[in-house]
Amino acid sequence: MNRFKNICLILLLTGAAVAHAHAHAFVDHAEPPVGGKVKQMPQEVRIWFTEAIEPVFSGIQVFDAAGKQVDKKDTHLDPSNRSLLQISLPPLEPGTYNVVWHVVSVDTHATKGDFTFQVVR
């Protein structure tokens, strides 16, 4: 039993020691939503990640159904939230758009992915 308590103590101390650690960044949620449909023309794509990210090594691209890049190529972090990455959009025609992202979290872990959203009338 003492051994079990010692193991628990080690785990707790380990947890305390890594309190400042970071991890791989996953998508928490996005606007427009992943796989969602929007009626109002989105002004930008905003992706909230689960970790703070390094903007220099991170980016978003938005493509239309024909594969043409339609974003304004101005990927930037929200000034007040280092886990919110966004990119501006021009007025979009109704259709399906593919959002491709890649990020590096502040502890240098890289992740990437993509999702679609639809603009409908």
Residue ranges in contact with other proteins by CB under 8 A: 7, 11, 14, 18, 21-24, 26-27, 29-30, 33-36, 50-51, 96, 107-109, 111-116
CB of 112 to other proteins, least distance (A): 6
Nearer to other proteins, 89 or 97 (CB): 97
Please tell me the distance from the alpha carbon of residue 64 to that of residue 62, in angstroms, as a whole number: 7
Nearer to other proteins, 28 or 74 (CB): 28
Contacts of residue 16, Cβ cutoff 8 Å, sequence gap at least 6: none
- Residue pair 67/48 in contact (Cβ under 8 Å)? The answer is no
CB of 23 to other proteins, least distance (A): 4
Please tell me the distance from the alpha carbon of residue 7 to that of residue 96, in angstroms, as a whole number: 52
Please tell me the distance from the alpha carbon of residue 45 to that of residue 114, in angstroms, as a whole number: 12
Nearer to other proteins, 31 or 44 (CB): 31
